């Protein structure tokens, strides 16, 4: 989100045409991430130890990279030396040198760098965050004292969302810095934005150039955000209160982050061409050492094995140090098993809709009215929508014309008309710019069959609206059957509370997990469609290079937008319960999630029927309940290793994740019948398997002398038994275990149910819900 493909293409072309200035890439090099086996070392806070590790890392390069004179020493190939979330380094190597490194004693793995993609004036109100004295904000002090580290495209520090008026002092434990660079210095940080760093070595290794040359045309060589994505996500998580926020007058309200008193640290790891694992690991490494409480990563790719996933590997060590890691599930939905960032130690977040709409109706010449949505902020007669215009759609033209590719629209055919553009290939806002350049007066963006009724809006550069697939079919039929088709767009402003919500966004990635079906992913869903949040001052609200308008806020959609909502909730819980582990925080978020919408009806999967657990996980986040969950499912970090053993991971694969040796045979013998103490319950029956037993333990974080009783809705065709059926706690912090037995006599389609522990008696306000998902897999 926030990167416009034509803009990127232009600069990619520019990079290809520029000479490579002494780049190792010109000699067949590429970036590799090298993981080392542990060795004896001092405290992680010991600067001498850090220097010692650097020398240790360099020693491996000296053994595998030939010397080529003083100016091309092996040390010149080193990009990063990792110390905290990863033991190893990143370097530029040839294939032969990488192969030589793999053979050295002490080297655990050598893998090529991997590129991943970047995956609010109202959303905090939709989440029920308010000034009620018993609400989540009051109970948590608005997230005061916590630090959220945001790994993204950087930050625009002058945005009012990062004003520090009323903020508490910077925590004494904070060890971070405000790194200077292009148009950024230490004075840009304050008590809200307490730290900022940038990481470009992996990016430059793949797109080498002179910092003062091509990069500065589209990037700031500093923590400053050139694309807006990082500014948007950081303000969503912890932005300050900004009265009268809007996108050039549209969607007006008071902007406020989910944890408005939390501190923000920005780690710029993403650039115009994406985010490289080597830069991401460096950002995570520093963030954990700096002292963040929550790591927010609105980025990722397709699901890959955990032992090859740098985010999963880095987040494992972060979790060991008590840091909650929150990741976007990805935008590859609605395909099954498309969910990314599926490690069981991270919180994986899908996207959902709000009940806020921006109606922009299409009134056809035949009197029919088609529903659409738009955030076009120009001056248009909202009641009448301006004059009626002739419709044009290039049904018999080229593919480029149908998709409104820039430069493909002949002005003679499109000037002064309302142009219909098929969605796809280029960005939505890019199509509007293409129509405007061809002299078009307005645009109707038509969803394709794959987009269905999905309604992500944009701040277009000309009067425009987005219509769903059903409306697109009717519109095109009208055009093809009418001699002179005409229409007008009638803008309806901002409407709240009339639409069913939340619903799972069509693009939100789905489970079951491809690499780990015994853990249900995504974990939860959160607001991720048409989210208004902070925007940098160098870009117009459409994000287009030629958009000369300026706004402190704009609208974006994606699981990237959902992720920081949950990062903010994690900060609220951490502030209310500073001793809780990351697993307890995740449990509180999951077991209190809603499975019904604001109308009390089941959450829908777009317009496609009731959402299942593979689309919404445990449900839609509810921060007011999450800060007071009653019971939580805690996980000892060592249990993640045992879990990996149950998945059949090898000794070396587990080492790549945990940085520790393990004998799975001995571990499984000591933990017979082990199941990970996860808040959701997922069973993948293999061929001929008809029964499964899950062990769970809950910790009482509510009132003492309380009793909870089990209420079960079994998945279709599956018999579920819970033993015992009641849990009584006499003390705060007391733990109780129970067993869930599932019997499935015959394979069938995926099925789901739930287990709810309901508190009994006069204090029976807590309901601790766990979804139960069952799949059948072929060996």
Sheet holding 115-118, edge to edge: 270-271, 274-276, 115-118, 299-300
User: H or E stretch including 710?
Assistant: strand 706-713
Cβ of 99: how many Cβ atoms within 10 Å?
12
232 part of the active site: no
44 part of the active site: no
By the 8 A CB rule, do 262 and 571 touch? Answer: yes
Radius of gyration of the chain (CA): 27
Side-chain half-sphere exposure of 472, counting CA atoms within 13 A: 27
- Options 560, 682, 706, 770, the catalytic residue: 560
- Options 57, 119, 227, 229, the catalytic residue: 229
SS3 289: helix
Q: Give the chain's count of helices (H) and strands (E).
A: 21, 40
User: H or E stretch including 256?
Assistant: none
Instruction: Return d(Cα 655, Cα 95) in angstroms, integer.
Output: 24
Q: Which residues of 660-678 are buried (b: 16+ CB within 10 A; e: fewer)?
A: eebebeebeeebeeebbbb
- Options 64, 87, 109, 152, the catalytic residue: 152
Cis geometry, peptide bond prior to residue 107 (ω within 30 degrees of 0): no
By the 8 A CB rule, do 621 and 566 touch? Answer: yes
Query: Quick one: how far is CA 649 from the chain centroid?
Result: 27
Instruction: Return d(Cα 11, Cα 17) in angstroms, integer.
Output: 10
152 part of the active site: yes
Instruction: Return d(Cα 625, Cα 238) in angstroms, integer.
Output: 19
Which residues lie closer than 8 Å to 638 by C-beta, 6 or more apart? none
Cβ of 514: how many Cβ atoms within 10 Å?
17
SS3 703: coil
Strand stretches in 269-346, DSSP E: 270-271, 274-276, 294-297, 299-300, 324-328
Instruction: Return d(Cα 572, Cα 124) in angstroms, integer.
Output: 13
SS3 480: helix
DSSP code for 308: G
Instruction: Return d(Cα 179, Cα 648) in angstroms, integer.
Output: 43
Angle 314-320-325 from CA coordinates, rounded to 5°: 55
By the 8 A CB rule, do 439 and 494 touch? Answer: no
**550's torsion region: left (phi>0), alpha (psi -120 to 50) or beta?**
beta
Cis geometry, peptide bond prior to residue 334 (ω within 30 degrees of 0): yes
Token pair listed for 350: 């899908």
Angle 611-612-618 from CA coordinates, rounded to 5°: 105
SS3 track for 657-680: HHCCCCCHHHHHHHCCCCCCCCCC
Using CB atoms within 10 Å of the CB of residue 244, give its burial: 0 to 12 exposed, 13 to 18 middle, 19+ buried: exposed
User: Which residue has 């999630």 as its token pair?
Assistant: 593
Cis geometry, peptide bond prior to residue 633 (ω within 30 degrees of 0): no
| Among 508, 516, 517, 505, CA closest to 773 | 517
Q: Catalytic residue positions?
A: 152, 229, 560
């Amino acid at each position: 989100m926030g990167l416009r493909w034509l803009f990127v293409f232009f600069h990619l072309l520019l990079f290809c045409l520029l000479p490579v200035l002494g780049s190792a890439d010109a000699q067949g090099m590429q970036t590799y991430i090298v993981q080392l086996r542990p060795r004896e070392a001092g405290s992680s806070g010991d600067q001498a130890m850090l220097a010692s590790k650097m020398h240790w890392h360099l020693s491996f390069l000296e053994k595998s990279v030939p010397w080529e004179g003083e100016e091309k020493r092996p040390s010149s190939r080193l990009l990063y030396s990792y110390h905290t979330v990863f033991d190893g380094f990143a370097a530029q190597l040839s294939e032969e040198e990488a192969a030589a490194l793999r053979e050295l004693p002490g080297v655990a793995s050598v893998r090529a760098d991997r590129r991943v993609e970047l995956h609010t004036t109202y959303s905090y109100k939709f989440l029920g965050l308010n000034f009620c004295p018993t609400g989540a904000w009051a109970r948590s002090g608005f997230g005061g004292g916590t630090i959220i580290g945001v790994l993204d495209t950087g930050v625009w520090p002058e945005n009012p969302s990062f004003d520090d008026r009323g903020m508490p002092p910077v925590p004494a434990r904070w060890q971070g810095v405000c790194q200077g660079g292009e148009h950024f210095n230490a004075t840009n940080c304050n008590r809200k934005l307490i730290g900022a760093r940038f990481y470009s070595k992996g990016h430059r290794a793949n797109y080498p150039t002179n910092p003062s040359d091509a990069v500065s045309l589209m990037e700031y060589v500093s923590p400053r955000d050139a694309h807006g994505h990082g500014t948007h996500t950081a303000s969503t998580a912890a932005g300050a209160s900004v009265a009268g926020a809007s996108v050039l007058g549209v969607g007006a309200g008071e902007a406020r982050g989910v944890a408005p008193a939390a501190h923000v640290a920005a780690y710029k790891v993403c650039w115009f061409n994406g985010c490289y694992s080597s830069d991401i690991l460096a950002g995570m490494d520093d963030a954990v050492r700096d002292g963040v409480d929550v790591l927010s990563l609105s980025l990722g790719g397709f699901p890959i094995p955990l032992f090859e996933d740098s985010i999963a590997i880095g987040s494992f060590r972060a979790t060991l140090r008590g840091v909650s890691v929150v990741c976007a599930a990805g935008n590859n939905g609605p395909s099954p098993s498309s969910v990314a960032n599926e490690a069981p130690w991270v919180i994986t977040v899908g996207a959902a809709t709000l009940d806020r709409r921006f109606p922009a109706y299409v009134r056809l010449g035949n009197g029919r009215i088609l529903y659409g949505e738009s955030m076009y902020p120009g001056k248009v007669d909202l009641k009448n929508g301006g004059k009626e215009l002739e419709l044009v759609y290039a049904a018999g033209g080229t593919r480029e014309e149908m998709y409104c590719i820039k430069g493909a629209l002949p002005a003679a055919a499109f000037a002064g008309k309302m142009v219909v553009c098929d969605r796809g290939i280029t960005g939505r806002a890019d199509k509007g710019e293409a129509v405007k350049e061809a002299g078009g007066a307005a645009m109707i963006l038509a969803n394709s069959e794959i987009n269905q009724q999905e309604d992500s809006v944009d701040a277009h550069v000309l009067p425009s609206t987005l219509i769903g697939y059903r409306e697109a079919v009717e519109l095109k039929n009208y055009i093809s059957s009418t001699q002179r088709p005409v229409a007008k767009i009638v803008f309806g402003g901002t409407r709240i509370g009339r639409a069913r919500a939340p619903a799972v966004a069509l693009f939100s990635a789905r489970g079951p997990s491809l690499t780990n079906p015994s853990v249900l992913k995504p974990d939860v869903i959160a607001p991720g469609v048409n989210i208004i949040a902070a925007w940098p001052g160098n870009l117009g609200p459409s994000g287009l290079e030629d958009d000369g308008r300026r706004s402190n806020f704009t609208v974006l959609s994606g699981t990237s937008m959902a992720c920081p909502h949950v990062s903010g909730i994690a900060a609220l819980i951490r502030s209310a319960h500073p001793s809780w582990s990351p697993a307890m925080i995740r449990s509180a978020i999951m077991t209190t999630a809603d499975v019904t919408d604001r109308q009390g009806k089941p959450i829908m999967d777009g317009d496609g029927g009731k959402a299942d657990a593979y689309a919404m996980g445990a449900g839609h986040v509810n921060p007011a309940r999450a800060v007071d969950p009653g019971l939580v499912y805690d996980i000892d970090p060592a249990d993640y290793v045992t879990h990996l053993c149950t998945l059949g991971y090898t000794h070396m694969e587990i080492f790549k994740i945990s940085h520790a040796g393990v004998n799975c045979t001995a571990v499984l013998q000591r933990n017979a019948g082990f199941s990970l103490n996860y808040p959701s319950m997922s069973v993948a029956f293999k061929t001929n398997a008809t029964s499964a037993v899950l062990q769970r333990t809950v910790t009482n974080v509510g009132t003492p002398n309380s009793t909870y009783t089990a209420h079960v809705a079994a998945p279709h065709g599956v018999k579920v038994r819970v033993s015992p059926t009641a849990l009584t706690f006499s003390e705060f912090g007391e733990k109780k275990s129970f067993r869930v037995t599932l019997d499935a006599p015959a394979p069938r389609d995926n099925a789901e149910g739930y287990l709810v522990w309901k508190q009994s008696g006069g204090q029976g306000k807590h309901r601790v819900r766990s979804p139960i998902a069952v799949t059948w897999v072929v060996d």
